[in-house]
Amino acid sequence: MRLSIIASAALLLLFNQKIQVDAVRHDIRVRAPFLRHPVYLTNLEQTDLRFTATSEDPLVSALNFALNELKASEFITKNVYTSEHNQVTHVYLRQAVGGLEVVNGDININVDRYGNIVSFGNSFYRGKDVTLRALHAEQKYLEKQDENKVEKVLKYVSEDLRLMSEKFAQIVFGASEDDDTESVTAPETESVTAPEAFNDVTFDIAPFSIPYSESDLGSPVDALQALFESMSATASAFDGVAESIPITVTMASTASFQSNEPILTLNHVPFAVAPVIAKPAYVQTEFGDLELVWSLQFQMEENWIHAHVNPRTRHVLILSDWVSDAQYNVFPLPLVDPTQGPRELLTDPYDVVASPLGWHEQKKGVKFTTTSGNNVYAQENTQNVETWETNYRPDGGDELVFDFPLDVDKDEPPSYLNASVTNLFYWNNIMHDLSYRYGFNEIAGNFQESNGDHGGLGGDAVIANAQDGSGVNNANFATPPDGQHGQMRMYVWDLSEPNRDGDLSSGIIIHEYTHGISIRLTGGPANSDCLLWDEAGGMGEGWGDFFATVIAMQPGDTREKIADVGSWAANQEGGIRKYPYSTNMEINPETYGMMNQPYYWFVHAKGEVWAGMLYEVYWNLVDKHNFTAQVFPPVPTGEDTEAPLKHILSYGNTLILQLVIDGMKLQPCNPSFVQARDAILQADLVLTGGENQCEIWAGFAKRGLGVEAMRIGAPMGGFRRESFQVPKECA
């Protein structure tokens, strides 16, 4: 029984001892099973993609595809939303077995405006030993919907799944293509105008029976103890903690809105700054099995752990860390750091589309005169305290004038704290507004305290700490799922005299914020484990460098420009990467095959290779379409509602930003370089009809990611085969 899980006396452990809170950033060795069966396929035939229209609703089309083609009969819709500029609907499904999520079983399906499937990724468990039934229940978030239209779609889906479950009592994944099952086809339905209403929806058409017992599952306390034991191998602070954990266990809910598993909270956990969230789930192993685990969300000062632990074997199967490394006098867009030019006193620089209430108002009547607003809370944290809500913030007064003195050549960072927090506030808002205009909006999982009536989950404005006392010479960003605050920590750099403040380096801020963008867009807003490690984790770093580089470009720059990262803060000519970014192979020789070398086994090094590839594509598109200093699209008007998209398509630097963001939405969970490349190519097909395919291919092929490139074998022991070949139509 479910409730017996929390009633067990073994779980009700309480010790009267002070809970230890740790402010050190720990080296967490990310891990996950290597699955050989995931696929990502794109439809690169332009005629099929652009001109084969159907009358099916995109959501219905995606569900049809999942049910009939991918044989997915039990799943949860984690996220569904449509990108306005290209009308592609993104559907993110999570596999379930007996009502419990398979945490590394994901399908993402991308559907064009006509109902055509343009690409999909699939890592569902394909074992033959699991009985699968259709799992559907009540929908949430119907506030914006025409309920009649929603009911029609739900009625179809429920009936479709009922027929399947009756006809095939035991449907297994991996069924052969030529079995004699009948295809289920959707009837004609009216279009659902806002498919994001189906985010976090589960459906239920049959009585539910729990497929596991308490003895099978084990205790979440045992799972947490096993996690501490595992982490003590690389972080000595955890030694011995597992032997006496003063924990109480309570039921948070009997059924989550995402699935039917119980959710528990573990209280008084050492090192935790909030209760640890625990829920049962399944994990696919690399041996083709399913293991029953406890899924643990464990937030510490400097780490935010998401672990999946089998308490019976003491095995940590998956371990991820969600932390990735008015008038405002600021270093404005596109200045990278104080060496690029002087500060300017800007008046109301907010974008009226992305932040219609400005940067200091969350909703009608909730206003601030400090560096707080709907998109970010920016404050100092020099003492590294947990209570960010009450930390000091500069106050601009009723006139909202944030004009504070600054002399980086003479003064130490604490003396210009007001200027630092102001600059941090400005650049977080710039990144919010800019990414919003390119499709990282409410329904896509962006960071806002209030989403109004635009969908998605609010309550997650970025918490940005300036001159954070928990470290030096670095920065990090924590990205939990949609609805939980993103957290940015910016540090002082002590490699110069006087010391330098990372809050004044927009390149570092952009890099960190981009972690939030890429993690929320890859795999859908509800899944923060889709850029976990290896090439996927490397691209998470690479996108950060690439965005920082592209946003800093100025008129007059050419493909001969050499771009670096972090040179001012680190007081290091050439920046903090192995090579600066350049299209000159003698200056930056990195190619896909170089990732076979030991130096490139780590994510930051892989990120350098990925960013270098995107840098090549950037210059190919800028050479073709020219450059604009106006990186923000114009505001649409009644006379020209297409003005923003026209602007984006007219210039190479805006086009590449759009294609990269679109690619993040299209690519599968934990993509490889090849899959992410294909997603960008697919994004161009959807957006422009394939106008830039050869320029994109040329950029990737120059760095070894041509048409025959592939990774052979497991991530840490495999081999990457380079290809400098472009498609024959581009040769």
Range list of H helices, 477-566: 506-521, 534-551
**Structure confidence by residue, pLDDT tens digits, 607-624:** 999 999 999 999 999 999
Catalytic residue, chosen from 302, 512, 535, 608, is 512
Least trusted range by pLDDT, from 216-220, 404-408, 479-483: 216-220
Mean pLDDT of the chain: 79
Residue 309 has pLDDT above 50, yes or no: yes
Active site annotation includes 74: no
Residue 12 has pLDDT above 60, yes or no: no
∠718-721-726 over CA atoms, to 5°?
A: 150
Residue 432 has pLDDT above 50, yes or no: yes
| DSSP output for 639-662 | S-TTHHHHHHHHSHHHHHHHHHHH
Contacts 24+ apart (CB under 8 A), 597-601: 601/716
Q: For every residue of 105-136, which 3-state class applies, written as one string? A: EEEEEEECCCCCEEEEEECCCCCCCCCECCCE
pLDDT score recorded for residue 247: 55
Average pLDDT over residues 244-252: 56
Residue 480's Cα: distance from chain center in Å?
9
**Structure confidence by residue, pLDDT tens digits, 662-720:** 999 999 999 999 999 999 999 999 999 999 999 999 999 999 999 999 988 776 667 89
First to last CA, the chain: 64
Residue 308 sits at φ, ψ, to 5 deg, of -125, 115
| DSSP output for 403-417 | -----TTTS-GGGGH
**Structure confidence by residue, pLDDT tens digits, 406-415:** 999 999 999 9
Rounded CA-CA distance 140/709 in Å is: 43
**Structure confidence by residue, pLDDT tens digits, 105-124:** 888 999 988 888 888 888 88
Average pLDDT over residues 276-305: 84
Residue 53 has pLDDT above 80, yes or no: no
pLDDT score recorded for residue 179: 32
Residue 78's Cα: distance from chain center in Å?
14
Look up residue 528 and give its two tokens: 């923060």
| DSSP output for 455-497 | -S--S--EEEEET-TT-BS-EEEE--STTS--EEEE-EE-SSS
Residue 164 has pLDDT above 80, yes or no: no
Look up residue 710 and give its two tokens: 């592939």
Please give the model's pTM, rounded to 2 decimal places. 0.77
pLDDT score recorded for residue 668: 94
Query: Comparing C-alpha atoms, which of 111, 100, 68 is closest to residue 202?
Result: 100
**Best-predicted range by mean pLDDT (12-21, 72-81, 644-653):** 644-653
Domains of the chain: 39-122 (3.10.450.630), 244-321 (no CATH), 326-529 (3.10.170.10), 531-730 (1.10.390.10)
C-beta of residue 379 within 8 angstroms of C-beta of residue 371: yes
For the chain, the 3-state helix, strand and coil shares in percent, each to the nearest 5, are 30, 20, 50
pLDDT score recorded for residue 244: 55
